[in-house]
Structure formats: C-alpha cells, structure tokens
Chain A
Amino acid sequence: MKKGYPRFFLLPGLLLLIAIIIFPLLFTIRVTFSSWNVSQSGLNFIGGENWGEMVRDTRYWSSLLRLFYLSFLTVAIQYVLGFAIALFAWKGIAARRFYRVLWLIPMMTTPSLMAIIWRSIFTEDIGALNGLLTRVGLDPVNWLTESGPANVAITIAEVWQWTPFMFLILLAGLLSLPKEPFMAAAIDGASAWKTFARVTFPMMAPISIGAIMIRLIDASKIFDSVFTLTRGGPGNATETPAAYIFQRSLQDFQIAYGSTLALMYLILAILTLTIIGKVFARLSKPRGI
C-alpha cells in the first residue's frame, strides 16, 4: 500500500470534526477557571473555585445518581421490548410489514415536540391518562407533581420514543443472520427457547452491544422529556444533569459554573462508557463471536 492513501480517507473527516469541536472544548475548559456569570462576562481567572463549589453541590451529584439509574433502567426496558418486538416482526406473524412500519413511527417523531404531547397526556386535570383512569373507576394520579409517578411518566415517554431505535437495529441484525446455524438447531430438534438462547442471542451479541452503547450515550443526555414534562420537579425529584446544567448555564446564566458541571459530566460519562464497553467486549468474547 502506497503511503498517503490511508490519510486521504481518515483525515478529512477527522480534521473537520476536530475543527468543529476544538474551540468549544477548549473554551469550556478555560471558562471553568473564570467567574463568567450574569454580572461578570469575560474570561478572568479565579483558580479552582468553581470546581470546589461543584464538589459540595449535592444537587449535582444526586442528579448524576438519578441519571445513572434512569438511563440504565430506560435502556434496559428499551432493549428487552425492542428485542421482543424485533423477534415478532422478524418472522412468524401475519401482516408483519404493517407492524414494522407502525413500530418504527415513534422514532420518527421529534422528541421535544412529543414531550409536549406527553405533557398533555399526563397533565393532571385535563390530561388523557387521568381521563381514562377516572372513566374505568380508578383514582387519578398526580403524574407530574409527585416524585414516584413523575419518574414513571418520564420513563414511559423515553421508552415510547426510543424502543423503535433498538427495534430497527435488532431487526436489521436478525434479518442479516446466516441461515445455517438455525437449520443445524432444527435438525438437532432444539426447542424454540433453546434456539433463541444458544443461537439467536449469541449471534446478536455484537449488534446488541453497539445498539446499547449508542442508546446509553443518548440516554445520558435525557433532557426533552424531563424539561417539558416536569422541569426537573417536583422539587428536584426528576432532575437530570442535562436539565440542571441547562438551568445553571442558560437560565441563571452562570456560564462558568455550568461549564464546570458539564466538563465533569463529560469526564465521568467517558469513563463510565469506556468501562461498560470493556465489560461488554469481555462478556461477548469467550463465545467466539
């Protein structure tokens, strides 16, 4: 291979990405050592004050903890449901082309706009859900003003929006599986469950890992549903880091402090995702996929 060709392929994209991202990244790092806020704009130097404040900011750390279980919970539900409906749409049901289109639709809708629709569903006095509940004789639920139900409401909206993403990736993966292993399993007389556990699931491991990683990255930025449905409330019961950082940076205009929170968040996210990636890689290897 002649020299220079490999660079022709990689460098344009890599350099374009770096060119777009380098200034925002350096700026964010630099601004964390300043006191840029609503009354003092510009890059002065105040040392590590913002970082010290962050360490003591319990609201930030509890939002991170909340994000941790909210993103793992929603992505886990999306994966299980997405895999289930992908298996159904793969083969064995009538009118599967109809169901494939239907089950893809939520992913096509704009999350920030659907969040408005979800708010009109969960709204407590005139919302659809409480309307249905009272009609069948149940008590209305305080979907948006009580901590438990508010978290359920956000989980429902997230699962509705993003299960189709898992569904699409997993269905495409299922459709591309080679036929031979399934024939071998059929010849051995393996049951449907055994075929799934020994053949389908292991062969889907690499695709599953890719889909889960991308979803975890996006889920860690949960914002639209939280912001539109509950604004992080009641109290801070549903606040995620993205919502908290939004409030600090763009509503209270504490640019420096908001950037500090964001940078720490970025470091933690990259660390966590790297560890998860390594664990997944180890789990999927011994099976020889």
Chain B
Amino acid sequence: MYKVLKATFITIWSLFVLFPIMWAITTSFKPESAVVNGATFIPFLEYQPSLIGWKAILPGPDSLTNLLTPTLNSFIVTAGATAVSLIFGSLAAYGLSRFTYGWKNYSNADIIFFFVSQRIMPPVVLAIPFFLLLKELKLLDTHLGLILVLTSGLMPIVVWLMVDFFNALPREIDEMAMLEGCNPIQAFFRTILPLSKPGLTVAGMFCVIFGWNDIFFALTLTATKVLTLPVAVIALNGTVTPYWILAASTVFSIIPLVGLAFVIERFLSRGNLGGAVR
C-alpha cells in the first residue's frame, strides 16, 4: 500500500515538473497553425513540427534577434558577481564564524541578519536609486555596474550559507595552523579554504542561479551594450512576439543552467554537498 502511494506520488510530481518544460520544448517546434487554433500536444499526429521559432532566434536569414551577444554578457555578469560575492562573502562569513564582533549592543547574529536583510528590499524600489547612482558613477550599461548591484543580492546568500559551513569545521584546524606559526589570514587561506570547496561550490551555484536569472536590475540598469539573455527574451515578450518564438528563446536561455543541475547532482551523490548546509 505504502509502496503504491509512494510510486504514485513520485510519478505525479515528476510529470508536474516535466510538463511546463515539455510544453515549452514542443511549442518551440510548432508552426503557427498548431498554436493559434487551440492547444495541440502530440507532434506528427496533431501538427507537423517546424523550425520557424528556432530560425527566428538563431543567426541566419530569418533571424529576428541576436541572442549570442546577450548570452556572452550573461556569462560575464554572472561570473563576475559570483566571484565578488564569494570572495567578500566567505571572508566575512569566516570572520563571523570565528571571532566575536561587538559594537554597542550589536552581536554577530545581528551582523548576519544585516547581511541577510539586504535581500528583503524589493528590487522594484532599488531600481531608481541604483539608476541614478550608476549614472553618476558612469557605470550605467556596463558590466561592472551590473556586477556591483547584483553583488548586493548575492553576498547575503554566501554569508548565510558559509557561516553555518565554517561553524561546522572544527576550530582545532585553525588553531593547529596558528601554532605552526601562521597568522589568522594565512591559516584561513592555507587550511580552511581548501577544506571549504563543497561549501563554496554550493554558495557559488546559488549565486550563479540567482545572478543568471535576475531580470529586474538587468532590465533597468543596462540598455544596449550589456543586454543580458533573460532581458533579451523579455524584450521579445514586450513586442507582440508569438508563443513559438518565445518558447524557443526561453528554451535557449535555460539550457546553460539546466546543465548545472547535473553538476549539483554529482556533488550530492559524492556526499560532498552534505557538509555544505550544516
């Protein structure tokens, strides 16, 4: 009985997870007639697959848009914001894990909450002041500007994950290194950092996911030069682009990150990820 329930649950959940993805993929291969006359599901039987959607977004004579430059921009911005957040965030997290910071009545827990609270502000509100700020600094529509803004949302995640992770590493490791003559900075870089690869990987993966998928800041703070991939697709949505082209461009822009799911699974199965959230 339990087994049947479990199998049913797993099947239903998997179908639910797959459904929107399959719908996006099939829609991207549909000709116009298969979309506008009502929902169709089975290729060849209900409609003849067509490449019209994909031809519109890939380079070629029928191309409506260029998604390759935006893809490159997305890679640069995501990698940059992830690197900055990881470096500054993990240093801060290590400090918060090992030392006691006191300033009046504020304790480490309050400082951690301060970091995390930076995620609470809805991006909608920050868009305008960030726009003015970056304009003043001549960073509007530059990679660096977008990287800095994204960092304010990503560093909180790194700090939140890495404090717990460093807490789980025995203090004896750092103390041993210091007995051998390292100062705390050397101890961190020589002994703690190599042990932190699983934690840094998870934190980095969250940064990549949230950085890549950001739409709001990329939409308001960049114009033509640093157009990111999701924004390029959303821009298509803003005009009257038909569903088959939207579906093709959506599938195109989620492929790079779906590859990441395989990487995460490898880490999980090797048991490496395990220590990362404890």
Contact B265 A16 (CB under 8 A): no
- The B interface is mostly helix, strand or loop, or mixed, namely helix
CB within 8 Å of B: which A110-133 residues: 110-114, 116-118, 120-121, 125-128, 130-132
In the complex, are the beta carbons of A13 and B88 less than 8 A apart? Answer: yes
Chain A residue nearest to B16 (CB atoms) is A160
**Partner among B84, B125, B234 whose Cβ is within 8 Å of the Cβ of A249:** B125
Whether A128 pairs with B23 at a CB distance below 8 angstroms is: yes
CB pair A210–B160 under 8 Å, yes or no, is yes
Cα(A157)–Cα(B76), bound, Å: 29
* A6 CB → nearest B CB, Å: 4
Contact with A along B1-18 (1 / 0, CB 8 A): 000001001100110111
Within 8 A of A (CB), among B144-186: 148-149, 151-152, 155, 157, 159-160, 164, 183-185
> Could you show 5 A-B contacts with beta carbons less than 8 Å apart?
A16-B84, A20-B152, A24-B126, A110-B250, A118-B20
- Counting residue pairs across A and B whose Cβ atoms lie within 8 Å, the total is 266
Give chain A nearest CB distance to B265 CB in angstroms. 5
B122 touches A223 (CB 8 A): yes
Q: Given the complex of chains A and B, what is the CA–CA distance between A241 and B121 in angstroms? A: 11
In this assembly, does B45 line the interface, its C-beta being within 8 Å of a C-beta of chain A?
A: no
Knowing A109-B258, A120-B246, A262-B121 are in contact, say whether A12-B88 is a contact too (CB < 8 A). Answer: yes
- A84 to chain B: closest CB distance in Å? 7
One of A68-76, A96-104, A143-151 contacting the partner: A96-104
A81 at the interface (CB under 8 A from B): yes
The docked-state distance in angstroms from the alpha carbon of A117 to that of B14 is 18
* Closest partner residue, chain B, to A211 (CB atom): B277
A99: min CB distance to chain B, Å: 7
**Contact code string A272-289 (vs B, CB < 8 Å = 1, else 0):** 011001000000000000
Number of interface residues of B (CB under 8 A): 98
Contacting chain B: which of A50-58, A164-172, A194-202, A229-237? A164-172
A4-21 interface (Cβ within 8 A of B)? 5-10, 12-14, 16-17, 20-21
- Whether a CB of chain A sits under 8 angstroms from the CB of B27 is yes
- Known contacts A109-B258, A249-B125; A132/B152 CB under 8 A: no
Return the contact of A172 from the options B37, B94, B99, B274 (Cβ within 8 A): B274
Q: How far is the CA of A99 from the CA of B10 in the complex (A)?
A: 9
Q: Given A13-B155, A120-B243, A132-B39 in contact, is the A176-B127 Cβ separation under 8 Å?
A: no
User: How many Å lie between the Cα of A117 and that of B115 in the bound state?
Assistant: 34
B24 within 8 A of partner (CB): yes
Interface residue tally for chain A (C-beta within 8 Å): 91
CA–CA, A112 and B128, complex, Å = 20
Of all chain B residues, which has the CB nearest A214? B160
Which residues on the A side are within 8 Å of B209 (C-beta)? 107-108
- Nearest-CB residue, chain B, relative to A281: B109
Give the chain B neighbours of A128 by CB distance below 8 A.
19, 23, 39, 41
- Interface: A205 (CB within 8 A): no
Determine whether the beta carbon of B129 is less than 8 Å from that of A17: no
Q: Nearest 4 CB-CB pairs, A to B?
A: A131-B39, A9-B95, A13-B92, A176-B274
Q: Which of A84, A114, A160, A255 contacts B128 (CB 8 A)?
A: A255
* CB pair B254 A131 closer than 8 Å: no
Residues of A within 8 A of B (CB): 1-2, 5-10, 12-14, 16-17, 20-21, 23-25, 27-28, 81, 84-85, 88, 93, 97, 99-114, 116-118, 120-121, 125-128, 130-132, 160, 168-169, 171-173, 175-176, 207, 210, 213-214, 217-218, 220-221, 223-224, 228, 241-242, 245-246, 249-250, 255, 258-259, 262-263, 265-266, 269-270, 273-274, 277
CB-nearest residue of chain B relative to A245?
B124
A248 CB to nearest chain B CB (Å):
9
Query: Is A217 a contact partner of B243 (Cβ separation < 8 A)?
Result: no
B277–A131 touching, CB < 8 Å:
no
- Interface pair A210/B17, CB less than 8 Å apart: no
* B253 contacts across to A, CB distance below 8 A: 110, 113
Known: A113-B230, A218-B119, A255-B128. A23 touches B133 (CB 8 A): yes
**CA gap between A77 and B231 in the complex, in Å:** 30
Shortest Cβ distance from B235 into chain A, in angstroms? 12
A-contact 0/1 string along B207-225, CB 8 Å cutoff: 0010011011000100000
Q: How far is the CB of B190 from chain A (nearest CB, A)?
A: 15
